[in-house]
Structure 1
Amino acid sequence: MKHLAVKLGFCAIPSDAQKIIRADIYSIDLPTSYFVFCSYYDFRKSSITTQILYEMAARGIAVVLGVKQLPKDYEFICQAFFPSDFNLIRY
């Protein structure tokens, strides 16, 4: 996720990215956020939070979530990255 934050232009180097990535979605103030980086999110845990994230992404706000499994309901609006994809990133 750190390399993805660099690729998207939110930070210059991966060590800076650790400062903007949160471990829990509830440690982020969603109504005032300009972007969301969360290392783990469970879509089944809270449908209200999922709806808020969906609306943020629809408005063009970057929403980057680490998930174990992406529900089929959200596959059409998501772009999945896997750890092997980051070998192709050049700085």
Structure 2
Amino acid sequence: MIKISLKKILCQLSQKKLYEKTFQSIYIVDFSLLDRVPLFKDEFKVIGTWYSYSGKRWICHTELSTEQFKKMITKNIDHKDLKKVKFYLD
């Protein structure tokens, strides 16, 4: 009986890992309401895997929480412009 339960648990863990690898959280940062798009800094590269970081929309996969991600991206943006930066999770 213990072997069956352990086998079942291992199967569930394997399925969870497969799901996590298949369906990654992707963040979209939208700067389209700003007059100027901020420059992409080297320090942003460590945040995660960037699929696009030119133009008004940046796209990234990261293991950071939403709040940590937002904090790192917005720390160099003028306080009055913070509400103009939009974040989407896909």
More RCO (CA 8 Å, sep 6+) = 2
Structure with the larger strand share: 2
- The TM-score normalised by the length of structure 2 is 0.24
- The TM-score normalised by the length of structure 1 is 0.24
